[in-house]
């Protein structure tokens, strides 16, 4: 892993770059462009940028209108306001008519930090995946944020993308091939014993900033003789069921890891697939366990809510018992 960058920063940079190649791209913000990083697009293309003010529901409705007139509309605010305050408008004005709007929400999860529970949205992935036809994407690092944004802007239909406030390690290369709806295999975990190939002992399916923690957990476990497969499930919906079932069949143990509530999020989505299959597989979920956030440093909150590499490693070992 190399440098660190916040996925919201990468989002802002790539959005401005897309402005040069996508003439129908318009961007809206709810008076937070300095934080969501849409300020870069605003500076480059002021005639295609719209500040709706502190009126998130109006912003989403404006985006719907622009999309209905043929534009590719991207709208941004904090995840709490996008998925919470504007949920009904996203559902009825974007999801129901299946309009080409990309809701790009920043400052998601507990790593918002000192802003506390009122701004720490852990419910967004669960909420957005309930909307029929909504694609839900949660990039793991700065590079994947850019690549997946490119793909989202160029696809037709509603998309919810989640970005974080805190800087996270970069582990993808710009040449990486990322496909919406297909999990990335970052670590196979297969190994050889007495000349015989064996599948990984367990699989960690992670999303967003938890992918870096999953890779760190795999390194910790490798030193203890435990071999782990790591999947980056950057697309929560449509979920890569094929990758989940492959992991269930080959490893028999899955730990999901997300910086959000396990109620309806990635853990629930994976469990739904496993429960509906014939595979004999145990599932454990790392995530926010039916709690509100609280104020604190991002690292302290990751520890408090059991989201670190050591917590993932412990969950894997628990399944191996």
pLDDT tens digit sequence for 261-276: 999 999 999 999 999 9
Q: Mean pLDDT for the chain?
A: 96
The residues near 180 (Cβ < 8 Å, ≥ 6 apart) are 135, 137, 148, 151, 152, 155, 235
DSSP string, 69-110: TT-EEEEEEEHIIIIIITHHHIIIIIITTT--EEEEEESBSG
Annotated catalytic residues are: 56
Q: Which candidate, 108, 236, 90, 208, places its Cα nearest to that of 158?
A: 90
Q: Give the separation between CA 105 and CA 74, rounded to whole angstroms.
A: 10
The pLDDT value recorded for residue 31 is: 96
187: left (phi over 0), alpha (psi -120 to 50) or beta: beta
Whole-model pTM: value is 0.95
Q: Specify the domain boundaries for CATH 3.40.50.970 within the chain.
A: 4-169
Query: What percent of the chain has pLDDT above 70?
Result: 99
pLDDT at 2 over 90: no
DSSP string, 266-287: HHHHHHHHHHTSS---EEEEEE
The pLDDT value recorded for residue 175 is: 93
pLDDT tens readout for residues 192-210: 988 999 999 999 999 999 9
**Can you tell me which residue has the tokens 């002992």?**
201
Burial profile 199-221: b = 16 or more Cβ within 10 angstroms, e = fewer: bbbbbbbbbbbbbbbbbbbbebb
Q: What are phi and psi of 72, to 5 degrees?
A: -95, 110
Q: What is the mean pLDDT of residues 153-176?
A: 95
Q: Which candidate, 164, 149, 205, 175, places its Cα nearest to that of 319?
A: 205
Q: Give the separation between CA 243 and CA 18, rounded to whole angstroms.
A: 31
pLDDT at 61 over 60: yes
Q: Give the separation between CA 273 and CA 307, rounded to whole angstroms.
A: 23
Q: Which CATH class is domain 184-316?
A: alpha beta
Q: Which CATH class is domain 4-169?
A: alpha beta
The pLDDT value recorded for residue 200 is: 96
The pLDDT value recorded for residue 1 is: 42
For residue 200, the 8-state DSSP code is -
Q: Specify the domain boundaries for CATH 3.40.50.920 within the chain.
A: 184-316
The pLDDT value recorded for residue 115 is: 87
pLDDT at 64 over 60: yes
């Amino acid at each position: 892993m190399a440098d660190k960058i916040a996925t919201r920063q990468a989002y802002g940079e790539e959005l401005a770059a897309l402005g040069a190649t996508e003439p129908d791209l318009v961007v809206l913000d709810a008076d937070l462009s300095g934080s969501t990083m849409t300020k870069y697009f605003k500076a480059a293309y002021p005639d295609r940028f719209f500040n709706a003010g502190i009126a998130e529901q109006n912003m989403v409705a404006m985006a719907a209108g622009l999309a209905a007139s043929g534009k590719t509309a991207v709208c941004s605010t904090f995840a709490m306001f996008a998925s919470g305050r504007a949920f009904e408008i996203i559902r009825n004005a974007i999801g129901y008519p299946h309009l080409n709007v990309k809701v790009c929400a920043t400052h998601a999860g507990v790593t918002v930090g000192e802003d506390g529970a009122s701004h720490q949205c852990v419910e967004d992935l669960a909420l957005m995946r309930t909307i029929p036809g909504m694609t839900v994407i949660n990039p793991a690092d700065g590079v994947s944020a850019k690549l997946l944004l490119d793909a989202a802007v160029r696809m037709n239909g509603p998309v919810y993308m989640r970005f974080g406030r805190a800087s996270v390690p970069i582990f993808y290369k710009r040449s990486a091939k990322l496909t919406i709806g297909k999990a990335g295999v970052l670590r196979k975990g297969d190994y050889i014993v007495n000349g015989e190939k064996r599948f990984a002992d367990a699989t960690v399916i992670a999303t967003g900033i938890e992918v870096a923690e999953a890779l760190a957990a795999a390194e910790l476990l490798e030193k203890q003789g435990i071999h782990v497969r790591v999947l980056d499930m950057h697309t929560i919906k449509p979920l890569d069921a094929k990758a989940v079932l492959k992991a269930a069949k080959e490893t028999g143990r899955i730990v999901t890891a997300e910086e959000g509530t396990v109620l309806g999020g990635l853990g629930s989505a994976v469990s739904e697939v496993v429960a509906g299959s014939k595979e004999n597989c145990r599932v454990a979920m790392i995530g926010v366990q039916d709690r509100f956030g609280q104020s604190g440093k991002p690292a302290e909150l990751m520890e408090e809510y059991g989201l670190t590499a050591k917590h993932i490693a412990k969950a894997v070992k628990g399944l191996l018992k």
